[in-house]
């Protein structure tokens, strides 16, 4: 039987992890068995760039935290080596980065176990589909480009018409120069 200090420390860890899981936009559980230190360092660097928290977790403590956060379905995959990547801002970031590294390692030593988004556990095929989506900034740029395309096309057509008619728009804007004698 663990002593009271150890038990209180574990309860604090579970409470903190429960709060992180509840407040996270999304997260991914990974089996990281067999990756090297260099590969792990590259993974952590990429996750930090994308504002994703990443940590190796204890299965039993994570199981209690998942139950407390309403993600009890994650309990089935909490065995073996487990790490957790969560994001509070960009819900696609952990899935995208983790999937990129899983592909890099051919799924042999870095495997996605499960994931969740907005308080719901997602099936593996949905996690992989979401991971293929572009980043938030890229999506915003695509939407903006789509919105600007008709305006840009109109400007090009108007310019072509003006040039076809003899460039009267530009000629009217410039004052006429006096003829040289």
Express each pLDDT in 84-117 by its tens digit: 999 988 888 899 998 888 888 776 788 888 899 8
User: Rounded CA gap, 168 and 147, in Å?
Assistant: 29
Beta pairing partners, 83 = 30, 56
pLDDT of residue 127: 85
Q: Are 109 and 34 a contacting pair, CB within 8 Å?
A: yes
User: Rounded CA gap, 96 and 92, in Å?
Assistant: 6
Q: What percent of the chain has pLDDT above 70?
A: 90
Short-list 105, 108, 16, CA closest to 64: 16
The radius of gyration computed from the CA coordinates of the chain, to the nearest angstrom, equals 27
Going by C-beta distance under 8 Å and a sequence separation of 6 or more, which residues neighbour residue 98? 28, 30, 85, 112, 131
pLDDT in tens, 48-85: 998 999 998 998 898 898 888 888 888 888 888 889 99
Q: Quick check: 170 pLDDT over 60?
A: no
Q: Are 130 and 122 a contacting pair, CB within 8 Å?
A: yes
Beta pairing partners, 87 = 26
């Amino acid at each position: 039987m663990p002593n009271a200090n150890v038990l209180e420390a574990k309860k604090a860890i579970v409470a903190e992890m429960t709060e992180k899981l509840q407040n996270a936009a999304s997260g991914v559980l990974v089996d990281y068995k067999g990756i090297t230190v260099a590969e792990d360092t590259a993974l952590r660097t990429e996750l930090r760039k994308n504002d994703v928290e990443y940590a190796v977790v204890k299965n039993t403590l994570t199981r209690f935290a998942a139950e407390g956060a309403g993600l009890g379905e994650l309990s089935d995959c909490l065995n073996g080596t487990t790490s957790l990547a969560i994001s509070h801002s960009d819900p696609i970031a952990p899935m995208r980065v983790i999937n990129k590294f899983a592909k890099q390692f051919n799924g042999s030593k870095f495997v996605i176990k499960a994931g969740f988004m907005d308080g719901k556990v997602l099936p593996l095929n949905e996690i992989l589909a979401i991971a293929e989506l572009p980043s938030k900034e890229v999506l915003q740029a695509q939407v903006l480009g789509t919105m600007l395309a008709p305006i840009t096309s109109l400007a090009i057509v108007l310019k072509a018409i003006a040039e076809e008619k003899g460039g009267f728009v530009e000629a009217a804007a410039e004052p006429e120069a006096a003829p040289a004698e």
